[in-house]
Amino acid sequence: MTSSTSALSQLKKFTIVVADTGDFERMREFQPQDATTNPSLILKAAQQANYQNLVHQVKTAHFGMKPVDLVDYILVAFGLEILKIVPGRVSTEVDARLSFDTQATVHKAKHLISLYESHGIDRKRVLIKLAATWEGIQAAKILESEGIHCNMTLIFSLVQAAACGAVNAKLISPFVGRITDWYKAKLGVEWSDARHGGPNDPGVTSVKRIFHYYKRFGISTEIMGASFRNTNQILELAGCDLLTISPELLGELQASHASVELKLNPGNAARALENENISQLKLDESHFRLQLNNDPMATEKLAEGIRNFCIDTEKLENLLTH
């Protein structure tokens, strides 16, 4: 079934569309409300020829600064350019190497906010991205109490999402594609797109479960599906609060005229949870760690995600020394 309007335009009627990139020049044509960045995306953008002037300006303005500190200024420089394009918010990530240190995370987050505010940016337009470790979630609790809003990232399980909601984090980013990757690798030849794709895609069902849990228990934290591998995953989550999408997939949605239907509806949350037999989770530290530990996919993907962000942060530091 096709429509006269693009799939992207239809999706925007149900969901706030966010651009998932540091390449701010590419996001203009898609008119997203918000934009998200991470160390990997900024590293990728910082290596492109068209952003060398921006990188050079930051390095010159802060000549002699240690690369570990200079990274913050690079992240904010890209964020400031993004905020000239999007009417909403930009997400800027705290150094992933601080993922298990609550106080250091709080300190770094406040520094990033101070850099934005020194350029006249209201802190409401910035989301500080933190890995959803126990320590990261406790940092979010402190930051949110001081009016610094957080985007909790690398979410692969309901217990992570529930704990973020319990501390009133502004937004969570449950990862869809990386969950699917794990199950695809686990099943190997037994994986079938027909049987495990579409509404049964494990990444999609994970976000649906979080959505239903939040709506059923009155959690106001925004849910932003992230890490998509294809447009089918995106369209299966139409109705999610927000979806952050790469420029490549935004382009596919803009070129498509497939009919988009509402898939997630808060009114169906209670019934959906009854079908899945989910009750409110215990969220003290020991229960959180045990539930996360007992989910091998979430444990592995969280560790891998932090590890890769650490590697790309170090690559970005190396780039800034040359």
The amino acid at 304 = E
Active site residues: 129
**Residues 109, 76 contacting (CB under 8 angstroms):** no
Question: Long-range contacts of range 23-28, CB-CB < 8 Å, 24 or more positions apart?
Answer: 23/48, 23/247, 24/78, 24/81, 24/82, 24/84, 24/85, 25/50, 26/247, 27/82, 27/85, 27/86, 27/247, 27/250, 28/85
* 177 Cβ contact partners less than 8 Å away, ≥ 6 residues apart: 203, 227, 228, 229, 233
How far apart are alpha carbons 173 and 161 in whole angstroms?
9
Helices (H), the chain: 7-14, 24-27, 39-46, 52-61, 67-83, 102-118, 134-145, 158-166, 177-187, 193-196, 202-216, 231-235, 247-255, 269-276, 285-293, 296-320
